[in-house]
């Protein structure tokens, strides 16, 4: 029997629903492939598409949501700008200051928009399933929404300290705040600071967009000074940093693995209304999603 919210059936069958991923640019998104694969496996007549939506266009898109909408996935630059449009946010979204998932429901005839963050789940699961363990000191490259999610995720993995690395140290405030609220001590380091040679993290997480170079100075000073790297960018892959880590014999976890695991979290929200409630047959669903994007169970690209 297909999984649905209680009461979301017509004549004993799941209702058709619309879902989608919003962002700009969005043409490269793998989210439609992942979600369509999952809903087909779950036997749900749900339709999931990509929508090019800028920050300025977001309020109008939200206003135009009709009754058949179930939920939205959000990518940059919308993970922060969605906040004023929401009815509520969950604890993880509050802690990270970022929303990548919106659940659309109705209550007493009023539409309600619940915001969630499944990027934290995606980062944590991608690292754990790749075998990354005993993480105490982490280097986080970047200062945006995903960097804040990374700080929360590594705190859940047992990290104690985060070095926040970025081009403009003055922009590190929100990441530092999220990291400290999660229980991490922090240090902010400029991207080209030679002092990075003294940093020896257990794990590096790059949250820079795909195609954004870090520069020769950073590579010389920091890479690979950790045994593992998670680069959230997944196109092109391997990224510049992933290549450097792999050539040194270190583990490089692809951002595509994070994308798959955060999608599982989103599907939990859309199906159950709760990111902590697992899907029936979730390991089977996860295997189908990994296979759809060419990854094995540990998140490695298949040969």
How much is the average pLDDT of 53-78? 97
pTM > 0.85: yes
Q: Which of 17, 30, 35, 79 is catalytic?
A: 79
Query: All domains of the chain, ordered by start, with CATH?
Result: 9-118+263-292 (3.40.50.10860), 120-256 (3.40.50.720)
Residue 114: beta bridge partners? 88, 103
156-182 pLDDT tens trace: 999 999 999 998 899 999 999 999 999
pLDDT value at position 198?
79
CA distance 173 to 218: 21
Q: What pLDDT is attached to residue 47? A: 98
Q: Is 171 a catalytic site residue?
A: no
Residue 76: both structure tokens together: 């940059």
Q: pLDDT, tens digit, for every residue of 239-286?
A: 888 888 898 889 999 999 999 999 999 999 999 999 999 999 999 999
pLDDT reading at 237 higher than 70: yes
Q: What is the pLDDT of residue 213?
A: 63
Give residue 48's pLDDT: 99
pLDDT tens by residue, 171-224: 999 999 999 999 999 999 998 887 777 788 999 999 988 655 665 556 665 566
Per-residue model confidence as pLDDT tens digits over 30-50: 999 999 999 999 999 999 999
> What's the rounded Cα separation, in Å, for the pair 203 and 212?
20
**CA distance linking residue 245 with residue 229, whole number of Å:** 7
Closest to 46 in 3D by CA, of 36, 33, 59, 61: 36
């Amino acid at each position: 029997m297909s999984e649905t919210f209680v009461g979301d059936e017509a004549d004993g069958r799941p209702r058709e629903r619309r879902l989608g991923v919003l962002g700009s640019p969005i043409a490269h998104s793998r989210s439609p492939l992942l979600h369509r694969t999952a809903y087909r496996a779950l036997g749900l007549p749900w339709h999931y598409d990509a929508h090019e939506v800028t920050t300025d266009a977001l309020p109008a898109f939200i206003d135009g949501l009709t009754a058949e909408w179930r939920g939205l996935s959000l990518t940059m630059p919308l993970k922060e700008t969605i906040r004023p449009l929401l009815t509520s946010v969950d604890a993880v979204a509050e802690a990270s200051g970022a929303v990548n998932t919106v659940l659309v429901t109705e209550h007493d005839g009023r539409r309600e928009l619940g915001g969630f963050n499944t990027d934290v789940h995606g980062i944590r699961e991608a690292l754990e399933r790749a075998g990354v363990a005993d993480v105490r000191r982490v280097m986080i490259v970047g200062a945006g929404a995903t960097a804040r999610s990374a700080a929360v995720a590594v705190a859940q993995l047992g990290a104690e300290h985060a070095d926040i690395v970025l081009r403009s140290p003055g922009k590190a405030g929100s990441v530092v705040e999220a990291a400290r609220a999660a229980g991490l001590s922090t240090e902010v380091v400029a991207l080209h600071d030679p002092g990075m040679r003294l940093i020896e993290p257990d794990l590096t997480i790059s949250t820079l967009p795909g195609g954004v170079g870090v520069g020769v100075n950073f590579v010389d000073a920091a890479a690979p000074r950790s045994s593992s790297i998670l680069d959230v960018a997944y196109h092109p892959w391997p990224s510049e940093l992933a290549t450097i880590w792999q050539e040194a014999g270190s583990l490089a976890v692809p951002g595509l693995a994070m994308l798959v695991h955060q999608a599982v979290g989103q599907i939990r929200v859309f199906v159950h209304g709760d990111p902590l409630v697992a899907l029936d047959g979730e390991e089977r669903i996860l295997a189908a999603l990994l296979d759809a994007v060419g990854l094995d169970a540990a998140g490695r690209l298949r040969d």
